[in-house]
Amino acid sequence: MNNLLLQLNEQQLAAVTITDKPLRIVAGAGSGKTKVITTKIAYLIEELKMAPYKILAVTFTNKAAREMRDRVTKIIPDLTSNPHISTFHAWCSRVLREDFELVGLNKNFLIIDQGDQIAILRSLINEHFSHLPELKKYTEKKIIYRIGNWKNDLTSPLEAIEECYSGIERAIATLYQKYEDYLKTINSIDFNDLQVLVFKLFNEHPEALEKWRNRYDYVMVDEFQDTNDLQFDLIKFLTRDKNNLTVVGDPDQTIYSWRGAKVDIILNFTKSFSNGVSITLNQNYRSTQKILDLANDFINNNKNREAKDIFTNNATGDLPIIKECESRNDEARYVTLKIKELIKDGYEYKDIFVLYRLNAWSQEFEKEFQNNKIPFQLIGGIRFKDRKVIKEANAFLRTLATQDEQAVERVLKSIPKVGDVTIKKLKEKANDMNVSLYDLIVNEDELHINQVSKHLTTIRNVLSNSVNVYNESKNIRMTLQYMLVESGYIQKLKDTEKKEDLSYIDSLYDQLENFDKSYQPEDSNEGSTEKIVSYLQEEALLNSDADDIEAQKVTLLTVHAAKGLENKIVFVVGLNQDVFPGRLSSNSAREIEEERRTLYVAITRAEEKVYITYIKGEFSFISQSELAPSKFIKEFDQDLYQFEGKYQKSSNPFANTSHLSSIKSNQHVKTSAGYEKNDVIEHMIFGDGVVIEINDQTMKVAFSSSYGIMPISVNDATISKKN
């Protein structure tokens, strides 16, 4: 242990050894916070003789939790028990698995993901709100976000209905009620419920709270800047008056306010814990000093922060480069050229991140990299567990374990010779007979399903026999393999030559085989299918795209997905006004500060080199305007970066404004086609619009329809001036 402590700097050592009062560690980017957390866990066990299982450490991604567990195991390989290290949501799931009855759950409850939520809401809208076409303007994701906010604010459906006055808001609140009712019928909860129900458990059942307070002698919270009010309440429930809390985070990396994270929680920590103390880790072990100089100077533009300049003993390094590009194609070509140069200089493809604010910005880079045979991977695409084939396979297991209607319906849709008409008739017959869809297929007289379709006998036999297969083998992989083969599902994939889907099924078998081998029941008297439920709950809690990063490829990902990661080379692309910061963030000082923190996170992912690019002059539908440099570029000290402009005479990205002045001088000029600013025009496809800007042979038109602002040629034959 002493050797470990000798490896720490002065601030890190204090952070590890202070254990008698609430402690806030403000950990600058690259300052070794994971090392501090894992060393502190080892210190509690080795020096303070704390039982490992009495230590709770929570974070926000599976990747971070796994890294913590691995590091602790390396430090203390012969642990007699394990500290509980997990994500916040996984810990809440553990609490609810133990105290499910106190919050009105059944033992084998399931956790649904966003894909399930979308399917449920879509079905409820079609069933109950088809008379409200305006509700269809709201995407299911927006409705999920709205319901999530109500839940996090502890607002019940009835309270939400009472608070809503407009017709559409009241409809969404009513949908919230029907959504909650439906979840109860399928014995399921969503991600928001995990935290809400634990809060209710602790708030309404003092004996349960006392049990969980006594369960842990020490509590640690990683990425504390990402906590919301509800999560902070849970932390306070566990640790109030116990002086057994350490939180670690960086206010300058609070970039999840849209999930409810509040920077004020970490900034005002000592207001909640009056005897709390704070330590700042400001020595960076990741980046060169010139990268840190730019990052430090830039983030100082934020007002709502604590001063914290980070420094390093690493090499000084090269100045970050800011590059002006003519178009998105030009930007992608520039990055491609630089990557080729870097590879010649000895870097590898895996050393390179390309970061952007919006997923939509990746398209040009994907095309350019493919054309130039640069190997790349796109993080933020469809995750393994969200792939259609995996959701269908897991639906077979859900049907076996819980028999919920949504899973049964997904199974029916996935097997041969059963279509929507058959499923509709089955649901109607089940409703008429007042039985569940599963019972109709498996437990009622076969005559009933034969009246609907002659093709249902196979799935009836498979579902019925799978119970025996599992009870005899207690092997999830073997049982699923039986179900998929005997139902005709695997043959269907073969017949349609879906080789990739078949490989995903094989990967799922591997995953299940590992789960079968490692599974340890929490209760020796557990029910027959609780092992399957445990697998499904664990699967639902997986959340990290970054786990999928492969070697020897350039990685394309959003800044948010890159949080917690690092690499030698970082390209930050698309630094344009109304893109980064986005259009919707430009009017609020609070939102601008969050966008600034997001760019700070992007820059501080880099170890050796940073390239920042933007476009000047090209029209973009993303920004709904001609692309201009982000306001953030003005905030960079010109002595702290090297500028590469498309106009070599200028060293200032804002110096060349000829395109802007030409627009202003053209505001009252007629085009050769006779159009002027403020003319009302009619487009054959897009409808009526107003000319808001004219530039050479192109004009920008604001359409009254949902098309918004679009560039239109003045010689376009599909437009005409209205009188």
The DSSP result for 685-710, as a single string, is TTEEEEEEEEETTEEEEEESSTT-EE
Residue 703 has pLDDT above 90, yes or no: no
Poorest-pLDDT segment among 33-37, 199-203, 657-661 = 657-661
In a domain, 79, yes or no: yes
Instruction: Specify the long-range contacts of residues 144-152, CB closer than 8 Å, at least 24 apart.
Output: 144/114, 144/117, 144/118, 146/172, 146/176, 147/172, 147/176, 147/179, 147/192, 148/190, 148/191, 148/192, 149/260, 150/176, 151/192, 151/193, 151/196, 152/192, 152/195, 152/196, 152/228, 152/229, 152/230, 152/260
Confidence of residue 631 (pLDDT cuts 50, 70, 90): very high
Closest CA to 363 of 332, 326, 322: 332
| Minimum mean pLDDT range among 591-605, 647-661, 663-677, 709-723 | 647-661
How far apart are the C-alpha atoms of 133 and 373, rounded to whole Å? Answer: 47
Same domain, 216 and 84: yes
pLDDT at 667: 40
User: What is the C-alpha to C-alpha distance for residues 208 and 214, in angstroms, rounded to an integer?
Assistant: 10
Catalytic residues: 33-34, 222-223, 253, 605
- Which domain CATH number covers 179? 1.10.10.160
Residue 543 lies in a domain: no
Of the chain, the percentage scoring pLDDT greater than 70 comes to 91
Task: Identify whether 536 is part of a domain.
Answer: no
Is 214 or 693 the better-scoring residue by pLDDT? 214
Q: Which amino acid is at 264?
A: D
Of 406-415, 591-600, 681-690, least confident by mean pLDDT is 681-690
Q: For residue 245, which of 277, 271, 202 has the smallest C-alpha distance?
A: 277
Q: Using 50, 70 and 90 to split pLDDT, how confident is the model at 295? A: very high
Binding-site residues = 27-34
Q: Is 58 helix (H, G, I), strand (E, B) or coil?
A: strand
Q: Which residues contact 277 (CB under 8 A, 6 or more apart)?
A: 18, 21, 22, 23, 24, 270
CA angle 641, 644, 647 (to 5 degrees): 140
Domain membership of residue 535 (yes or no) is no
Residues 496, 389 within the same domain:
yes
Here the CATH number for the domain that contains residue 491 is 1.10.486.10
Residue 704 pLDDT: 63
Angle among Cα 278, 284, 290 to the nearest 5 degrees reads 130
Q: Which of 233, 254, 281 is the C-terminal boundary of a domain?
A: 281
Residues 80 and 206 in one domain: yes
466 shares a domain with 610: no
pLDDT at residue 651, rounded to an integer? 44
Buried b (16+ CB within 10 A) or exposed e, 262-301: bbebbbebeeebeebeebbbbbbebbbbbbbbbbbbbbbe
Distance CA(326)–CA(618), nearest Å, equals 7
Pick left, alpha or beta for residue 181 (phi over 0 → left; psi -120 to 50 → alpha; otherwise beta): alpha
DSSP-based three-state secondary structure for 416: coil
In a domain, 211, yes or no: yes
Q: What is the pLDDT of residue 717?
A: 72
Question: What's the confidence (pLDDT) of residue 409?
Answer: 93
CB 218 within 8 A of CB 182: no
In the listed set 169, 186, 203, which residue is the last one of a domain according to the structure?
Answer: 186
Q: Would you state the pLDDT for residue 547?
A: 52
Quote the tokens at residue 350: 């895996």
Shared-domain flag, residues 314 and 456: no
Res. 694: pLDDT tops 80: yes
Question: Does residue 387 contact residue 505 with C-beta atoms inside 8 Å?
Answer: no
The predicted model gives 42-68 an average pLDDT of: 94
Which is it for the CA torsion 507, 562, 62, 391, positive or negative? negative
Q: Flag whether pLDDT at 650 surpasses 50.
A: no
Structure tokens at 130: 């088809």
Q: What pLDDT is attached to residue 661?
A: 38
Least confident residue range of 38-52, 202-216, 563-577, 645-659 = 645-659
Select from 15, 3, 16, 25 the least CA-distant residue to 45: 16
Q: Are strands 625-626 and 619-620 parallel, antiparallel or unpaired?
A: antiparallel
* pLDDT recorded at residue 714: 78
Do 88 and 8 lie in one domain? The reply is yes
Q: What is the pLDDT of residues 582-606, one digit of tens each?
A: 877 766 889 999 999 999 999 999 9
Here the tokens at position 380 are: 């933020």
- C-alpha 636/C-alpha 614 separation (Å) is 14
pLDDT of the residue at 587: 67
Average pLDDT over residues 359-370: 88
Q: Which of 246-260, 276-290, 547-561, 625-639 has the lowest mean pLDDT?
A: 547-561
pLDDT of 130-169, one tens digit each?
A: 888 778 778 888 899 999 999 999 999 999 999 987 788 8
β pairing state of 680-683 and 352-356 = unpaired
Question: Annotated binding site for ATP, which residues?
Answer: 27-34
Beta bridge partners, 221, equal: 58, 247
Span 674-684, mean pLDDT?
Answer: 82
Best CA proximity match to 219, nearest among 62, 71, 58: 58
Answer yes or no: is pLDDT of 706 > 70: no
Predicted confidence at residue 659, as pLDDT, reads 36
> pTM for the whole thing?
0.79
Asked if 93 and 146 sit in the same domain, the reply is: no
pLDDT above 90 covers what percent of the chain?
62
Higher pLDDT, residue 688 or 55: 55
- In the predicted structure, residue 500 carries a pLDDT above the cut 90: no
List, for residues 234-246, the tens digit of each pLDDT value: 999 999 999 999 9
Q: State the virtual CA torsion across 8, 13, 19, 21 in degrees, nearest 10.
A: -140
Query: Does pLDDT of 454 surpass 90?
Result: no
Spatial distance between the Cα atoms of 130 and 175, rounded to a whole number of angstroms: 12
Q: What is the pLDDT of residue 80?
A: 84
Do 480 and 572 belong to one domain?
Answer: no
Q: How confident is the model at residue 358 (pLDDT cuts 50, 70, 90)?
A: confident
- Which of 155, 186, 217 represents a domain boundary (last residue)? 186
Lowest mean pLDDT among 259-263, 541-545, 619-623: 541-545
Higher pLDDT, 551 or 395: 395
Q: Taking residues 360-366, report their average pLDDT.
A: 87
**Within this chain, do residues 607 and 489 fall inside the same structural domain, yes or no?**
no
The more confidently predicted of residues 103 and 717 is: 103
d(C-alpha 607, C-alpha 566), whole Å: 7
Q: What is the mean pLDDT of residues 373-377?
A: 93
Neighbours of 250 (CB within 10 A): 26
pLDDT at residue number 320: 97
Residue 525 within a domain: no
Note whether 122 and 69 are same-domain residues. no
Say if 695 falls within a structural domain.
yes
pLDDT reported for residue 665? 39
Give the number of domains in the chain. 5
- Report residue 451: phi and psi, to 5°: -70, -25
My answer on whether 26 and 89 are in the same domain is yes
**Could you tell me where the beta strands, DSSP code E, fall in 161-208?**
188-189
- Amino acid identity of 704? S
* Amino acid letter for position 644: E
My answer on whether 57 and 127 are in the same domain is no
Per-residue pLDDT reduced to its tens digit, 2-25: 788 999 999 999 999 999 999 999
Q: Domain residues for 426?
A: 384-507
Cα angle for residues 663, 666, 672 (degrees, 5° grid): 125
Q: Read off the CATH number of the domain in which 585 is found.
A: 3.40.50.300
Cβ distance 421 to 428 under 8 Å?
Answer: no
Picking from 227, 29, 258, the residue whose alpha carbon sits closest to that of residue 146 is 258
Q: Is residue 650 domain-resident?
A: yes
The pLDDT assigned to 723 comes to 62
What is the spatial distance between Cα 411 and Cα 422, in angstroms, rounded to a whole number? 13
